[in-house]
């Protein structure tokens, strides 16, 4: 991730404002962490409001931040004013999502004029240990500025 181009600060600010408008991210306790060209990471600390029946993170909360991470990674590829919408995504759950927090990465694989394809990775982290919880793919469609 260290070879990523830094984003223009005004662009980064606009994207962080877009994130702040996602009521669900606030409700889940998610934070937009890294934002670079083609990359976005989002973290979400554990709380009982995020669990499934066994007390692990529910796949739904996990997929919520994975979807947003991919979306904002995609948004870094387009000019200010554009937006993106998710066309589809697919996640494989690899290991129980159990830990102090989840960290998800959205990586742009290909940014086209209309469609952008991202890879999604989700990790559970607890005091330095890290488990790969999920891997996924996502297709975004660009909505040009009106």
Question: Which chain residues interact with a copy of itself by CB under 8 A?
Answer: 18-19, 21-28, 47-54, 58-61, 63-65, 67-68, 83, 85-95, 109-110, 114-115, 117, 119, 132, 135-137, 139, 141
Smallest distance from a copy of itself to CB 27, Å: 4
Smallest distance from a copy of itself to CB 76, Å: 15
Q: Which residues make Cβ contacts (< 8 Å) with residue 106, sequence separation at least 6? A: 39, 40, 41, 42, 66, 68, 69, 70, 71, 72, 73, 74, 118, 119, 120, 138
Smallest distance from a copy of itself to CB 50, Å: 5
Cβ closer to a copy of itself: 7 or 61?
61
Smallest distance from a copy of itself to CB 30, Å: 9
Burial of 112 (C-beta count, 10 Å sphere; 0-12/13-18/19+): exposed
Cβ closer to a copy of itself: 31 or 52?
52
> For residue 132, what are the CA distances in angstroms to 21, 42, 47, 92?
29, 15, 19, 11
Cβ closer to a copy of itself: 7 or 104?
104
């Amino acid at each position: 991730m260290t070879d990523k181009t830094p984003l223009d600060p005004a662009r980064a600010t606009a994207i962080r404002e877009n994130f702040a408008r996602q009521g669900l991210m606030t409700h889940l306790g998610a934070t937009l962490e890294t934002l670079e060209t083609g990359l976005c990471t989002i973290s979400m600390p554990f709380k009982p409001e995020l669990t499934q029946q066994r007390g692990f993170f529910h796949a739904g909360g996990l997929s919520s931040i994975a979807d947003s991470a991919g979306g904002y990674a995609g948004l870094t590829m387009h000019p200010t004013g554009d937006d993106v919408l998710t066309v589809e995504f697919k996640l494989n759950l690899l290991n129980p999502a159990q830990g102090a927090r989840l960290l998800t990465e959205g990586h742009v694989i290909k940014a086209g004029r209309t469609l952008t394809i991202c890879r999604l990775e989700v990790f559970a982290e607890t005091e330095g240990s890290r488990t790969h919880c999920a891997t996924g793919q996502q297709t975004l469609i660009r909505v040009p500025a009106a």
